[in-house]
Amino acid sequence: MIDFQLTPADEKVLSSAHEQAIIGRRYASYYDKHEDEIEPEQFPEAKDLPNPITLAEDGLSGSSGARILHSLVMLEIYWGGIALHRSKWGLGNTVLKTVATPEQFEKWKNHTIAIAITEPGAGSDPANIRTTATFDRETGEWILNGEKIFISQAQSGDAAMVLSRFIAPDGSRGMTT
């Protein structure tokens, strides 16, 4: 049976996340009206505040339910709309851990990876995306052709993983990242 009881240290981390989410809501309102502006690398209020994501991930809470605590912290951040602290990891990092070859993982593990899935008419449903990646034999490179309308964590990533359909050198087709 899973014990959902939070320790006092967990509650302190969660309280910090909630306080930061309240501040984040003010910024979210601003950026809703000023979508052309990029969020700063660090918000002024974050300077002296601990990053609750890091606290939850580092297990400083002493909790046996660290994954539950991390999920609760992330819910607070999403409720706030804007995170005061940038996450080192993007959604693409989760995909990388799941599907990358050992060589790919080693090459990209220290990057913050944004993920490009969303397309007009397809939304974020990978089964309906139309972007293609075609291998060009002359250059030895893949050529992307398509349109993405939203890239999760694009403003803070230093790499992007693009979900596409591929056309291999032999003409076979499939899905790739």
Claim: this prediction has a pTM higher than 0.85: no
The CA distance from 114 to 74, in Å, is 17
**CATH class of this structure's domain 91-176:** mainly beta
* Confidence at residue 122, expressed as pLDDT on a 0 to 100 scale: 84
Q: What is the pLDDT of residues 28-80, one digit of tens each?
A: 888 888 877 877 777 888 888 888 877 776 665 555 566 677 778 878 877 87
* Confidence at residue 103, expressed as pLDDT on a 0 to 100 scale: 94
Measured in whole angstroms, how far is the alpha carbon of residue 68 from the centre of its chain? 18
* Torsion sign across C-alpha atoms 65, 68, 69, 70: positive
- 161 vs 171: which has the higher pLDDT: 161
Of the listed ranges 37-41, 63-67, 83-87, 101-105, the one predicted with least confidence: 63-67
Domain residues of the chain, as ranges? 8-80, 91-176
Whole-angstrom Cα Rg for the chain: 19
Q: What is the pLDDT of residues 126-168, one digit of tens each?
A: 888 899 999 888 998 989 999 998 887 777 778 888 989 887 7
